């Protein structure tokens, strides 16, 4: 829920409750005051009648009163209490029934007890109450509407710098060196937010830069001693005074340094792909490339007596030639490496996908095969080949999938998601 919505909700709910309560109080109080006033008028009337009776010893004529109706009734026996009550009476002037307020009282004239009912119209006071109620309601509606409008336009405008900062933060990439620009605002909180965000971005970028240059330097520095070891090994080999046993040791050292340098190159390559530092982007004729690659693998295939079958159609994809080469290399190496002697490899290429399936041992690979340094126990690789393959696919929006069915391992690269 958005902050403004939440705020709106609380605001409007409170306003409605307060306004309704105010309306009710208004209504009750005004009603009370008006009834009180009517009652006082009726009491004044009663007084006048009493005075008239006392002075003239007769009842005033009902018709002599304009605003109110008076009726008399001679009582015998039960004497009712003096009381005020609301009634409906017929107003002869307006020729309709109207709500009224009555005072029933008793006058004594010549030993007779006469009940006097004085009725006054309540229409005007009812009208007044209705008008007051309408005005209150009107104000309520206007207030709510203006609150909504304020929230809608003013709040939205107020929050705009916040959202623009938010969007820039979302688009923030540590590898790109642009600053998070701010929308000019006079609001202190947003200015502070912008300042903090920029400071944070700067810090992140600085850390990233340092880390990157550290990695770069470390890898370059590592390459040099590795090159020295390699060259010294080559030189050592030329001295030619080794026993067979020393030869084996030398071979092991060769293997280890070879692996180390390959590992190192793979890690560098991974970092480069992740940072999208491989710029050469072109149309690649994949069919030709696959054919060239399978020729390159000929000796490896023969060694394990693997049979390679191909089902290729011309396909053009947009990617780096260098990375396309590595992608095919890794997939094919994998198919050769995790194969069985006398097995097969099948490469199928069409407009949507490249599929490489090969025979192998069932249940050979784990589910995390695309993770770095994940490899099967008997694998000779470093566990980076497929991670690199996956990264290359990610870079170009390809999707790579692996499945295994009863000893057949299938890697499929879909050229679109």
Partner 1 sequence: MKILVIEDEQALLESILAYFTGEGNICEHASDFAAAYEKISLYSYDCILLDLGLPGGEGLELLTKLKQLKKRDGVLIISARHSLDDKLMGLDLGADDYLVKPFHLSELKARVSAIIRRKNFDGDNVILFNEISVDVSAMKINVKGNQVILTKKEFDLLVYFLSNRNKVVTKNAMAEHLWGDEMDLSDDFDFIYTHVKNLRKKLLEAGAADYLRSVYGIGYKFGDI
Q: Which residues bind partner 1 (CB under 8 A)?
A: 220, 223-224, 226-232, 234-235, 237-238, 240, 242, 244, 246-248, 250-251, 254-255, 257-259, 261-262, 265-266, 268-269, 278-280, 296, 299-300, 302-303, 322, 325-326, 329-330, 333, 337, 380-381, 385
Comparing CB distances to partner 1, the nearer of 240 and 417 is: 240
CB 161 within 8 A of CB 194: yes
Strand-strand pairing, 68-75 and 316-319: unpaired
**Shortest Cβ distance from residue 357 to partner 1 (Å)?**
20
Burial class of residue 332 (count of CB atoms within 10 Å of its CB; 0-12, 13-18, 19+): buried
Nearer of residues 13 and 248 to partner 1, judged by Cβ:
248
CB of 236 vs partner 1, minimal distance in Å? 9
Residue with Cβ nearer partner 1 (215 or 231):
231
State how far the Cα of 38 lies from the Cα of 44, in Å rounded to an integer. Answer: 10
Q: In the complex, what is the shortest distance from the CB of residue 400 to partner 1, in angstroms, rounded to a whole number?
A: 17
Residue 267 CA neighbour count, 13 Å, CB half: 15
The rounded distance, in Å, linking the Cα atoms of 322 and 135 is: 79
Which one, 64 or 235, has the nearer CB to partner 1?
Answer: 235
Residue 78, helix vs strand vs coil:
coil
Give me the least distance between CB of 157 and partner 1, in Å please: 47
By C-beta, is 325 or 404 nearer to partner 1?
325
Min dist. Cβ of residue 402 to partner 1 (A):
18
CB atoms within 10 A of CB 4: 15
Residue among 55 and 235 whose Cβ is closer to partner 1: 235
Taking the least distance from each CB to partner 1, the nearer of 119 and 320 is 320
User: How many residues belong to the chain?
Assistant: 417
| Residue 90, CA distances (Å) to 37, 42, 64, 397 in order | 22, 18, 17, 88
How close are the terminal C-alpha atoms of the chain, in Å? 32
CB of 194 to partner 1, least distance (A): 36
Task: Name, in order, each residue with C-beta under 8 angstroms of 84's C-beta and a sequence gap of 6 or more.
Answer: 39, 42, 101, 102, 103
**Total Cβ atoms within 10 A of residue 411:** 20
Q: Distance of alpha carbon 112 from its chain centroid, rounded? A: 87
Closest distance of CB 183 from partner 1, Å: 37
């Amino acid at each position: 829920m958005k902050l403004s919505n939440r705020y709106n909700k609380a605001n409007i709910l409170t306003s409605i409750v307060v306004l309704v309560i105010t309306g009710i109080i208004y209504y009750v109080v005004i009603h009370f005051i008006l009834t009180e006033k009517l009652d006082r008028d009726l009491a004044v009337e009663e007084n006048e009648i009493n005075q008239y009776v006392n002075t003239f010893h007769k009842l005033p004529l009902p018709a002599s009163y304009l605003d109110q109706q008076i009726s008399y009734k001679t009582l015998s026996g039960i004497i009712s209490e003096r009381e005020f009550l609301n009634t409906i009476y017929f107003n002869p002037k307006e020729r309709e029934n109207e709500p009224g307020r009555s005072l029933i009282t008793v006058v004594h004239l010549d030993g007779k007890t006469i009940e006097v009912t004085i009725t006054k119209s309540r229409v005007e006071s009812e009208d007044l109450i209705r008008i007051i109620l309408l005005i209150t309601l009107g104000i309520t509606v206007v207030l709510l509407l203006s609150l909504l409008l304020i929230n809608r336009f003013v709040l939205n405008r107020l929050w705009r710098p916040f959202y623009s900062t938010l969007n820039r933060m979302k688009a923030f990439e540590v590898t790109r060196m642009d600053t998070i620009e701010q929308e000019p605002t006079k609001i202190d909180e947003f200015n502070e937010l912008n300042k903090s965000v920029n400071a944070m971005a700067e810090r992140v970028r600085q850390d990233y830069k340092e880390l990157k240059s550290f990695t770069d330097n470390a890898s370059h520095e590592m390459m040099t001693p590795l090159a020295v070891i390699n060259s010294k090994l080559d030189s050592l080999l030329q001295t030619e005074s080794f026993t067979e046993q020393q030869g084996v040791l030398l071979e092991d050292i060769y293997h280890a340094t070879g692996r180390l340098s390959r590992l190192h190159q793979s890690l560098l390559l991974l970092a480069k792909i992740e940072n999208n530092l491989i710029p050469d982007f072109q149309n690649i004729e994949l069919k030709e490339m696959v054919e060239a690659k399978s020729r390159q693998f000929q000796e490896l295939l023969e060694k394990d007596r693997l049979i390679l079958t191909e089902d290729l159609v011309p396909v053009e994809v947009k990617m780096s030639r260098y990375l396309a080469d590595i992608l095919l290399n890794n997939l094919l190496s994998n198919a050769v490496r995790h194969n069985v002697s006398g097995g097969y490899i099948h490469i199928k290429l069409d407009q949507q996908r490249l599929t490489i399936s090969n025979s192998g041992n069932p249940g050979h690979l784990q589910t995390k095969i695309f993770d770095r340094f994940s490899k099967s126990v008997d694998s000779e690789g470093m566990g980076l080949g497929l991670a690199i393959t996956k990264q290359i696919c990610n870079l170009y929006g390809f999707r790579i999938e692996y499945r295994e069915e009863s000893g057949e391992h299938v890697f499929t690269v879909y050229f679109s998601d």
